Chains A and B, each alone.
Chain A
Amino acid sequence: DSGVTQTPKHLITATGQRVTLRCSPRSGDLSVYWYQQSLDQGLQFLIQYYNGEERAKGNILERFSAQQFPDLHSELNLSSLELGDSALYFCASSVGPGNYGYTFGSGTRLTVV
């Protein structure tokens, strides 16, 4: 157990639907990051939050949104899902922005059918 909790582990949904992925960071970590991993694209950075505020955005589609709550857990919302959104979605946390190693959760495998 890495200390970063992601739910659900697996999700199968139809095209056009909306899903919410949840992440609880490791105790004491203030930064949360979302990454998408697909076979041919490696780990793609989506978005970062630090202590409740959005800190950086990567290649996140407009159909996707995220937030970090006062208790520091984060949710990634994916809407109008397409087949190409099928991937592993990882949440990671770190003590703060900058020169710290990331602790990854076990991921949510999303399959869009």
Chain B
Amino acid sequence: GQQVMQIPQYQHVQEGEDFTTYCNSSTTLSNIQWYKQRPGGHPVFLIQLVKSGEVKKQKRLTFQFGEAKKNSSLHITATQTTDVGTYFCAGVNSGNTPLVFGKGTRLSVIA
């Protein structure tokens, strides 16, 4: 079945440093979504990418979808303590199938 791999599993950064998490799918995706889960919280939808090579920005967050629609990345510029949490990518194989989540990258920010 479809698998979504995410690396790294953990990342510790100093406040102000940049952070990137990478996501790879075993199959071509129709779209990829990113979620953030704060400690003790639930996943919260951040963004959806649909087009090959798509790049979207949300303030300090930059999301990319690969040309082959099998990989994606999330880059955070100048991390802040509010960025702490686990970032999940989730892929959709075809239009009507449920999201398959990666295992997430847990980000710790040291002030």
CB nearest to B102 among chain A residues: A42
For this complex, into which size category does the number of interface residues on chain B fall?
20 to 34
Does the CB pair B98–A90 fall under 8 Å?
no
Task: Give CA–CA (A105, B99) in the complex, Å.
Answer: 16
Does the CB pair B42–A2 fall under 8 Å?
yes
A101 within 8 A of B: yes
B52 neighbours in A (Cβ, 8 Å) = none
Pair count A-B, CB < 8 A = 61
Task: Give CA–CA (A105, B98) in the complex, Å.
Answer: 17
B97 neighbours in A (Cβ, 8 Å) = 56, 97
Identify A55's interface contact among B30, B43, B96, CB under 8 A: B96
B109 within 8 A of A: no
CB nearest to A88 among chain B residues: B42
A58 within 8 A of B: yes
Q: Chain B: residues with CB nearer than 8 A to chain A?
A: 30-31, 33, 35, 41-45, 48, 50, 88, 90, 92, 95-104
Say whether, besides A42-B104, A43-B88, A98-B92, A103 and B98 are in contact (CB < 8 Å).
no
Does the CB pair A90–B88 fall under 8 Å?
no
A46 to chain B, nearest CB (A): 9
B58 to chain A, nearest CB (A): 13
- A–B pairs, 21, beta carbons within 8 Å: A41-B103, A42-B103, A42-B104, A43-B43, A43-B88, A43-B104, A44-B101, A45-B101, A55-B96, A56-B98, A97-B98, A98-B92, A98-B96, A99-B48, A101-B45, A101-B48, A103-B45, A104-B35, A104-B43, A104-B44, A105-B42
